[in-house]
Amino acid sequence: MDTATAAIANAEVSVDLDFDAVVIGAGVTGLYQLYKLRELGLRVRTFEAASGVGGTWYWNRYPGARFDSESWTYGYFFSQVLLDTWDWSEHFAAQPETERYLNHVADVFDLRRDIQFNTRVTAACYREGTRSWEIVLEDGSRCTTRFLITAVGVLSAPTMPNNIPGIASFKGRSCHTHHWPKEGVDFAGKRVGIIGTGATAVQAIQEIAKTAGQLTVFQRNPNWCVPQHNGRISERDMRDIRTRYPEILALCRTTPSCYIHGPDLRATFEATPEERAALWQKRYGEPGFGLWQGNFRDTLTDRAANALASEFIANKIRERVHDPVVAEKLIPKNHGFGTRRPPLENGYYEVFNQPNVELVDINETPIECVTGDGIRTSRKDYDFDIIIYATGFDAITGAFERIDITGVDDVRLKDTWANGPQTYLGVFVKGFPNMLMAMGPHGGLGNYTRSAEYSVEWVTSVIQYAAQCGFTRIEATAAGVREWTDHVLALGHGMLANEIGSWMTGVNRNVEGKQTPRIMRYSGGHPAYREYCDAAAAAGYRQLALA
Ligand SMILES: Cc1cc2nc3c(=O)[nH]c(=O)nc-3n(C[C@H](O)[C@H](O)[C@H](O)COP(=O)(O)OP(=O)(O)OC[C@H]3O[C@@H](n4cnc5c(N)ncnc54)[C@H](O)[C@@H]3O)c2cc1C
Ligand SMILES: NC(=O)c1ccc[n+]([C@@H]2O[C@H](COP(=O)([O-])OP(=O)(O)OC[C@H]3O[C@@H](n4cnc5c(N)ncnc54)[C@H](OP(=O)(O)O)[C@@H]3O)[C@@H](O)[C@H]2O)c1
């Protein structure tokens, strides 16, 4: 028997632990995970850094924050009570409504009694002797648990520019969109600068431009923004949506990214130019992600097809922005449509026709520093009352790396993933027994709650199986990790999005070592992902070592 096997065999598993399961995070994933584990009768504790529930929808209170998923496709489907008791007011609800919804969920299931708020987990260490995890909190206190479930989110580790000196010297007000103050910010008549033009900035810019005295947008790379066509939901519409919930769920289960939008089954060049223009025009006029997710089936894999779709949108931008120089600056040149996640907008391009809005291309005139009064570029000094950093996230693995997670033999998760995530089904990591990742890397993204519900249910079923069989140690096998990771990488090749730097490929130029695109997510579509995971369960979790 080698030392590792002996340590496993000699584990003192009957030791008293504080909890059966600890969940990190109380966003849509963590809330449902808590509910499901409690349903199993486990003693569960959730730790959450925020002062309330909601995760993304707690933190991101910036003006204009709202869904890009249809509200009625994003909410939980696991509970008929929730479906019956919640009315959405808009097809793409704003942040306050979604935060209220998640508080409603916490109320209905009395979830808060097991959540410790204002509590950041700083470290988690696996103890082979007791087959348990020791959790270390920000205040230095500790607790023990058999299972550790991470529900830390893919977009929860915000980043500030690391290449701009002087940020702390600014005398006005500055904030990152993720850390937006609860009391809000008044922009009326103010001089405002915003850095970034991702989905967050696109929403914030449209809102701030309504009242700011002067809004200056510092853009490094533009994105392909497409109309959202948001609208109110009347009582009658809501009644109709409620009767259609079963078919809405069924539809989301058939599409690759769990949206109601699925691809047109034709390839781009199988259609005539007139048919192509007709489809794009139709999708451009419809609400939501239709143009992205409901385009010709090869739009995101065939360069020539992608170039044509991109040119269609470029021409829309040229039509909507009056100044042709500004229009060209707003058209992405370094990536094709849909290869980064396209922001949805309700009048974004028209904002740049307003006299109080200026676009600064920082490739032409780089930001040199932040001064006490504003931002200095290579061309001029801009004075501001408020600077907004809409500079994104250390996505997918960032929240994991902000916790010092050590597994068997004190190996760090961060080191295990130095060359990219290695997982089994996006849930397990070899060397980190009893740690299960709900919505971990190498799982599917897309319309999030739809995939999170499945992820949580799969995680729960493994724990239930272990409990029923009396297993106290679950670990991915090396073969399981190799097979899944190879599968994810093989599927990801050929997807144009995986060649482009974006949060979806783990690129964040503000974080050392995150400059090169990597395959971070499962690209085979959710139906295939679920099939794979269901088959693994049906086969008795053969790729897991259970002890
Ligand atoms: C502005 C914005 C809009 C979005 N809109 C959409 C949309 O329309 N549709 C869609 O499908 N997706 C959208 N997303 C993606 C969104 O992140 C997911 O929809 C979803 O909310 C993620 O849920 P989660 O519970 O997995 O993670 P999160 O909501 O990120 O929750 C994770 C929680 O874990 C906590 N946490 C992390 N680390 C620690 C730690 N060490 N200790 C304690 N607590 C910790 C965080 O504080 C956070 O509350 C959006 C993202 C952003 C940023
Ligand atoms: N309604 C919604 O559904 C919604 C809303 C908001 C966000 N989200 C989700 O969250 C994701 C992330 O969106 P995000 O906008 O927060 O982040 P993001 O897409 O990563 O955008 C960050 C922006 O900041 C810029 N930036 C970062 N560091 C910079 C620096 N040092 N100097 C200058 N510019 C810098 C980036 O420029 P470069 O592009 O050049 O790197 C980019 O324009 C979205 O794609 C989406 O999935 C969803």
The pLDDT tens digits along the chain (547 residues) read: 455 455 555 566 767 999 999 999 999 999 999 999 999 999 999 999 999 999 999 999 999 999 999 999 999 999 999 999 999 999 999 999 999 999 999 999 999 999 999 999 999 999 999 999 999 999 999 999 999 999 999 999 999 999 999 999 999 999 999 999 999 999 999 999 999 999 999 999 999 999 999 999 999 999 999 999 999 999 999 999 999 999 999 999 999 999 999 999 999 999 999 999 999 999 999 999 999 999 999 999 999 999 999 999 999 999 999 999 999 999 999 999 999 999 999 999 999 999 999 999 999 999 999 999 999 999 999 999 999 999 999 999 999 999 999 999 999 999 999 999 999 999 999 999 999 999 999 998 999 999 999 999 999 999 999 999 999 999 999 999 999 999 999 999 999 999 999 999 999 999 999 999 999 999 999 999 999 999 999 999 999 999 9
**Three-state SS at 494:** coil
Tell me the Ramachandran region of residue 121: left when phi exceeds 0, alpha when psi lies from -120 to 50, beta otherwise: beta
Residue 68 CB less than 6 A away from ligand 1: yes
pLDDT in tens, 466-499: 999 999 999 999 999 999 999 999 999 999 999 9
| Contact (CB, 8 A) for 342 and 292 | yes
Q: From CA 202, how far away is CA 20, in angstroms rounded?
A: 43
Q: From CA 491, how far away is CA 493, in angstroms rounded?
A: 6
Instruction: Reduce the secondary structure of 299-349 to three states and give it as a string.
Output: CCCCHHHHHHHHHHHHHHHHHHCCCHHHHHHHCCCCCCCCCCCCCEECCHH
534 DSSP assignment: H
Determine the angle formed by the axes of helices 526-538 and 448-469, rounding to 10 degrees: 0
Q: From CA 25, how far away is CA 33, in angstroms rounded?
A: 10
Which atom of ligand 1 sits closest to the CA of residue 439?
A: 26
**Neighbour order of strands in the sheet with 381-383:** 367-370, 374-377, 381-383
Tell me how far the alpha carbon of residue 178 lies from the centroid of ligand 2, in angstroms: 11
Q: From CA 376, how far away is CA 384, in angstroms rounded?
A: 11
Whether the pTM exceeds 0.95: the reply is yes
Torsion sign over Cα 332, 337, 338, 343: positive
Q: Where do we find the tokens 């600077």?
A: 387
Q: For 306-315, give one letter per residue: b (16+ CB within 10 A) or e.
A: bebbbebbbe
Residue 201 CB less than 6 A away from ligand 2: yes
Tell me how far the alpha carbon of residue 155 lies from the centroid of ligand 1, in angstroms: 6
Tell me how far the alpha carbon of residue 155 lies from the centroid of ligand 2, in angstroms: 10
Residues near 139 by beta carbon (within 8 Å), at least 6 away in sequence: 119
Residue 95 CB less than 6 A away from ligand 1: no
pLDDT in tens, 176-210: 999 999 999 999 999 999 999 999 999 999 999 99
Residue 153 CB less than 6 A away from ligand 2: no
